[in-house]
Amino acid sequence: MTPRQRVLLALSHKEADRVPIDLGGTIVTSVTKAAWHDLRNYLHLPLQEHQPMADHVQQLPYLEEDLLMRLHADVRMVQMPAATAAAPEYRREGSYYTLRDRWGATLKMPVEGGLYFDWTDFPVTDTDLSQLRQFDPPPLDAPEVIEDLRMQAARLRSTTEYAVAGSGVIGGGIFEQGCRLMGMEAFMMAMAAEPAFAESLMDMITDIYIASCDQYLDRVGEFLDVFTYWDDVMTQQGWMISPEMYRRMIKPRTRRLADAVRKKTDAKLFYHACGAAYELLGDIADIGFDIVNPVQVSAAGMDTSRLKRDFGKDLVFWGGGVDTQRILPEGTVQQVEDEVKRRIHDLAPGGGFVFAAVHNIQAFVPPQNIIACFDSAVRYGGYR
């Protein structure tokens, strides 16, 4: 069975020859630069001095074909970095590197021992609607950039048998991007105390995302199997905001974006929601998303057998294959293998499961544990 056939069967809630596997198919199912470096060294694979980055904020390199094949990956990614331009300018300011995102916010990462960038300075500084009307939105990617993505996607479809995933979203989720524009505390206060401003800000974000996705999907949409979107509204214990506020202010705009995407592509819609997302899953399905990720098994209420029982007919679980907070970084090879076996047992029956780690694999994860994770997914993921 080809990788694409394997993925498409899983997305149709059917069993393939084995559970499909994703590593590096999205910017939320990959491996960070530090872990990537150690993994390639461990496998005796060559290293480039300046590896292109799929996501500068999270420090995610584009993963090479030799590594993807070694770890049995069935999905390939076709998209630009979401938060930044393809090659943002890194500046050194004292003990930090700084860069700007597409929207004008400043991010910093320590020069010594820094692993990723944090947002530190924000372009929207108050809740004056007149300031918002003067805000200079980020430009859409140039036509030649989109044409290059189209060529990548067309090549993958014509010369390989992999599934293709990508996104035209140029920032965080609609809620996340509000936080990136104002700072999380300021934006959440605006949602509560200045709702007209907060909703106007999210309308602007939604409009820009729809325009960007339209441009991307007009050229790439026919080649996609999966369209990815991300928006975190949960902590590891529960809601970050009230569910009523989510359903009143965020969900309708997410639905508008999802509806716009569906007009341009037949790809399945993928929603990334970290944390204790159990109470959000019904909303995700109601909006029309087909897939949920990362299935954070260490968060409250995220027992995989319960998730499969309650939502397995409505949603595909893309992730949840191994706990990346404790088991993958701190466990033995045997503990990793046992964890993978358990999650496949819970999530794989009847299809509707794409194996991936819970979010991106971070620095200091032993490379032998990463290899054990994906080799175990093949060993225990067979249906016949």
Residue 269 belongs to a domain: yes
Residue 366 belongs to a domain: yes
Residue 254 belongs to a domain: yes
pLDDT value for 78? 98
Containing domain of residue 146, as a range? Answer: 3-85+124-380
The whole model's pTM is what? 0.97
Residue 248 belongs to a domain: yes
**Total domain count for the chain?**
1
pLDDT value for 145? 96
Assign residue 184 the CATH number of its domain.
Answer: 3.20.20.210
Tell me the CA distances in angstroms from 203 to 32, 83, 122, 356, one per residue in order: 32, 18, 18, 33
Task: Determine the Cα–Cα distance for residues 284 and 291; give it in Å rounded to an integer.
Answer: 9
For 75, the enclosing helix (H) or strand (E) is strand 75-77
Phi/psi of residue 99, each to 5°? -150, 165
In order along its 384 residues, the chain shows pLDDT tens digits of 999 999 999 999 999 999 999 999 999 999 999 999 999 999 999 998 788 999 999 999 999 999 999 999 999 999 999 999 888 999 999 999 999 999 999 999 999 999 999 999 999 999 999 888 889 999 999 999 999 999 999 999 999 999 999 999 999 999 999 999 999 999 999 999 999 999 999 999 999 999 999 999 999 999 999 999 999 999 999 999 999 999 999 999 999 999 999 999 999 999 999 999 999 999 999 999 999 999 999 999 999 999 999 999 999 999 999 999 999 999 999 999 999 999 999 999 999 999 999 999 999 999 999 999 999 999 999 986
pLDDT value for 384? 66
Residue 354 belongs to a domain: yes
Residue 184 belongs to a domain: yes
Tell the residue number behind the tokens 């300075």, with chain if given.
Answer: 121
Residue 283 belongs to a domain: yes
Residue 289 belongs to a domain: yes
Residue closest to 117 by CA, chosen among 103, 102, 99 = 99
